Amino acid sequence: MEDIKIIEVKRSILEDNDEDADKLREELAAQKTFLLNLMSSPGAGKTTTLLRTIEKLKDELKIGVMEADIDSDVDTRAILGSGVRSIQLHTGGMCHLDADMTRQGLKEIGSEDFDLVILENVGNLVCPAEFDTGAVRNAMILSVPEGDDKPLKYPLMFEIADVVLINKCDTLSVFSDFDTEKVKERIRMRNPKADIYFISAKTGEGIDNWCNWLRKQVAEYKENI
Amino acid sequence: MEDIKIIEVKRSILEDNDEDADKLREELAAQKTFLLNLMSSPGAGKTTTLLRTIEKLKDELKIGVMEADIDSDVDTRAILGSGVRSIQLHTGGMCHLDADMTRQGLKEIGSEDFDLVILENVGNLVCPAEFDTGAVRNAMILSVPEGDDKPLKYPLMFEIADVVLINKCDTLSVFSDFDTEKVKERIRMRNPKADIYFISAKTGEGIDNWCNWLRKQVAEYKENI
């Protein structure tokens, strides 16, 4: 079995995370590396969505993945099977990553080798939204079984998301009280600018639209730096 | 439409939350009030499970409910329809409740009037596990769509749970990779003493077993104080 690289990232002692996140964005721009911060509740399908995304984009872009969790390496094992470089970040019990913790991971994975590094943040709809990781874009996943009321309850997460993926759409007939129009209204109430895509990482539905969005973001970033 | 009582609970300035939680347990014991702390990921089914629980137990026990959320009052509205007293606690962006925030809610709801007060904590598998609320028992819900690997990734939540409810069992055929034996093994690895019940708050399956557990806990508590 392949060795999993596990990095114990240490909590930053810096007082101003926002300032440090801006600094990290400059460091990444110098490397021409696009960092995507992917957030969701536990079990919303971050890793499965990543596997689909890698499958679609790995021939066009050099992709690296950093899997953050409090414990375990199950997600990193899953990603390694896709053929891209992947490392596991352990947060020592912490509920989120800040910019310096993200930087520790980027150094270990060797971010200068990649066009696109995806950080899978800790599964949590609250705390990760409060800490800028230094990413160029924030993506979040809301899964159908969680319900269409989540933008009402977790405002900040939806406010800071540049794109919202509504995953597990193949189960809309099972979770028939999930209202696809209402959820869009509620997301737009929090964040009128967020792009919204309905996907099923399981069946592949909607993955092309999401990958087109991501491809375009990376291209525009590389053109403008 | 009925007026919803919304309490803005303030973060505690106490340094030692564990000590304060023990003090709160003594205060509740003097009132003979059993406090249950109910935790889960966003959308795992805390409120629907509560509605089933209230329906089953409200003729035997005087029940009050405190709904904690960062924003919105959707859960309190749902509970009020069941005929029991319910208040909404807003955490001011905080990802969890500590003992003093819980005390502020108990004062507002009038905990001395109840046999059982249920605190529905903020939907989050990380932070609420770190803060003792002063509850007599901790219950947590893991829902089938979240996956059977959650005890590997969120160790502390499973370590501190006295009982784990595995909800949305009516969707086991849809989420066919959820392994009911493996999830039990993984929960027991974290916490050999936790009781485990498979339920569906939607269909009512398993609710009797869970309510028997809760009824017994409350009875034993009342006998022994």
d(CA A74, CA A63): 19
**For B43, which of A41, A95, A124 is closest by C-beta distance?**
A41
* Cβ within 8 Å, pair B43-A168: no
Which position has the token pair 């993200």?
A102
Residues of chain A with pLDDT below 50 are none
Q: Which residues contact B30 (CB under 8 A, 6 or more apart)?
A: none
Beta strands in chain A (DSSP E): 6-8, 34-40, 63-69, 85-90, 116-120, 137-143, 163-167, 195-198
What are the helix (H) ranges across B32-94? 46-57, 74-80
Query: Smallest Cα–Cα separation from B140: which of B149, B154, B152?
Result: B154
Give me the average pLDDT of each 10-residue run along chain B (225 residues): 76 82 98 98 97 97 96 91 94 92 96 98 96 98 98 97 98 97 98 98 98 98 94
A vs B: CB pairs below 8 A: 101
pLDDT score for A5:
83
B191 residue type, one letter: N
pLDDT score for A6:
84
Which domains, ranges and CATH numbers included, belong to chain A? 6-141+207-224 (3.40.50.300)
pLDDT score for A13:
65
**Local structure of B87: helix, strand or coil:** strand
pLDDT score for A11:
72
pLDDT score for B11:
72
Q: What is the ipTM of this complex?
A: 0.93
pLDDT score for A2:
60
Which of B6, B174, B179 to probe by mutation at the A interface, max A CB count within 10 Å? B174
- Chain A closest-CA separation from residue B133 CA (Å): 18
* Cβ within 8 Å, pair A69-B43: no
Q: Which residues contact B180 (CB under 8 A, 6 or more apart)?
A: B148, B166, B172, B198
A86 residue type, one letter: S
pTM of the shown model: 0.95
d(CA B44, CA B124): 10
HSE-CB at A25 with a 13 A cutoff on CA atoms is 17
Which of B73, B124, B190 to probe by mutation at the A interface, max A CB count within 10 Å? B124
Torsion of CA B211, B89, B136, B78, to 10 degrees: 0
